[in-house]
Structure 1
């Protein structure tokens, strides 16, 4: 059987035109059935590569295995990317454009003259001279987050299968749904996957490796006020809308997303709704340390209690829901995962730069599900926006990094 010979660009252009936007308001998994359109294509392509166990499950997740080529006992390594695109901006009707042999300067997008990828705002462009740059036409996002990762994993698998002389252990492939709405790992079957360690391909600038994420909780405050006809409300009405507004107004300004950076966490209101008799305020709480997360939740509860003290007839509930935890807690117990990735990155000529993510990835959840899982660069930039772009050469470098990484794991196995 002759194997496909698609380039990473061939695959990327094929994947980004498939609308896979997820929907946080949906309770199903996947949240949008259209994500399975890409899943079915990937299942077919994996089978065309000869991976007999490739399959799309009922939840939209795609699994496959590249068999080992070595007689050594090497841990099974998983490479994972997500199929959905963010709800932040339209992913329908993506029209990818290629700027061939980029020679510098701003890139004006042809579908919307107001959309310009400016070098002043995207300094990484200065490192792309001579590269082929893929952009949108300015009317949609591109979907490099995370279809660049998918294309890179698929192309690396194709390369390994075409070169059985390269010694490596079992390579597991996992493509998930709904990562952008925080549910990417919800329905992953870790036992079926059968990997010891993993890597998400969901990063950005080549050379950047991410081994740390926020720890994350969601908080919901539900307020029950005292409803009353406004004509007879004096000293009786307790308006739940005003109570909710009072809580938001008292949030510390130095603990907001717009005033923090680096390792600083935040309290962020993400939704408010209600009427006189009842209101709900939703928050996300983020910090790199567990204690910082707890401290912020206690502060928010104290603010709520202080506001409520002026409304003796009203009541509230304060509900905390764990979302994900800092994957570094798990990764520090398995230093070989990062050590091998750093070595592979060096072998492709890059200087590894270890970063923290002010957010989360599938790797956050997977790490605590038993699959220690740092994040590898894909070459994509300006995610979740119509200014999204990726270099073809950088995607090719990510493919090479995957190949080198499985070689390193084999070399260092006992």
Structure 2
């Protein structure tokens, strides 16, 4: 048996739910209290709509690969999803609403070295692994995910594959502010140029690919979805907590494609970790919000 415990001393947030039923995993994997819980909310919503709530047209989409580049949302055929606005239901504690996300990009930096036998390596060998390490050393060690919070951006060097000839380094770039996001991209280019000068017989090339944009810009162009969500929560007596999500949702992609898509809570805590837990009362409130949105959209 695994000796894994969800301890109050380490997770005092659980004290808010003393006496309530809480869903947990066994600690050997994530619970899925964001994505799986959202599917449960949506499926229950569909089962109850016709019996409990008058509604207009309601479209539902389940897409894969949110966690690895939101490829499902990017591939959606929007002619089959003809919505004026939409919602994602993903993570977050009771009452939390996401109207802002990171701007996000991924970057691959490839270092090409010069291989040589140790007996004749002096002045000739260019080690691509050391080139990659030198590249990383030019970035502020405190501008990383583990050293930042709230609206602070970061670089995240995630993966390095190397041999004696070539090294491939993967980095993620995140920033809420558009200008800051562009400065981070420019920083990659600056350091790459320094590496070219430092290792003239080697080579450095990079490619930056945008993953998603801050959802706030798109939502500002059409505020109906947000207004309806806030009204639903108000009528249900749920206090709203607007947060800037240090991540992204499929809603960021859909919003950029013309369908404003804010995100609201499943009620979960510590998502994407072995200490995830989902209080059942908060979970039920997520469903109530979804039902109320459909009702309000029909009557208004």
Confirm or deny a common fold (TM above 0.5): yes
C-alpha contact (below 8 Å) 2:161/2:167 kept by paired residues: yes
1:127 to 3, 13, 16: 16
C-alpha contact (below 8 Å) 1:209/1:374 kept by paired residues: yes
TM-score (norm 1): 0.69
Structure 2: give runs of 5+ residues left out of the alignment.
none
Is the counterpart of residue 283 in structure 1 residue 171 in structure 2? yes
Q: CA deviation at 1:129?
A: 2.5
1:170 to 57, 60, 71: 57
Counterpart in 2 of 1:74? none
CA deviations on 1:289-348 (whole Å, 9 max, x unpaired) are 222111011112212222332211111112111111111110011112111101111122
C-alpha contact (below 8 Å) 1:223/1:280 kept by paired residues: yes
Give the CA RMSD over aligned residues: 1.5
Counterpart in 2 of 1:153? 42
Larger mean Cα displacement after TM superposition, 118-127 or 206-215: 118-127
1:392 to 277, 280, 295: 280
Q: Per the alignment, do residues 405 and 126 of structure 1 end up closer, same or farther by CA in structure 2, a change over 3 Å counting?
A: same
- Give the secondary-structure state (helix, strand or coil) at the position aligned to 1:141: coil
Larger mean Cα displacement after TM superposition, 297-306 or 399-408: 297-306
Is the counterpart of residue 307 in structure 1 residue 208 in structure 2? no
- Off by >4 Å, runs of 4+ in structure 1: none
Counterpart in 1 of 2:289? 401
What does 1:7-406 correspond to in 2, within 5 Å? 112=2, 114-163=3-52, 166-182=53-69, 183-406=71-294
Q: How many residues align?
A: 299
C-alpha contact (below 8 Å) 2:33/2:91 kept by paired residues: no
CA deviations on 1:254-296 (whole Å, 9 max, x unpaired) are 3211221111111111111112221111100000122211101
Q: CA deviation at 1:186?
A: 3.0
CA deviations on 1:90-122 (whole Å, 9 max, x unpaired) are xxxxxxxxxxxxxxxxxxxxx53x322123433
- Give the secondary-structure state (helix, strand or coil) at the position aligned to 2:291: helix
Structure 1: give runs of 5+ residues left out of the alignment.
1-110
2: distance between equivalents of 1:290 and 1:331? 15
Counterpart in 2 of 1:90? none
Q: CA deviation at 1:170?
A: 1.0
2: distance between equivalents of 1:203 and 1:302? 37
2: distance between equivalents of 1:378 and 1:116? 23
- Give the secondary-structure state (helix, strand or coil) at the position aligned to 1:197: coil
Q: CA deviation at 1:139?
A: 2.3
2: distance between equivalents of 1:376 and 1:211? 9
Q: CA deviation at 1:349?
A: 1.5
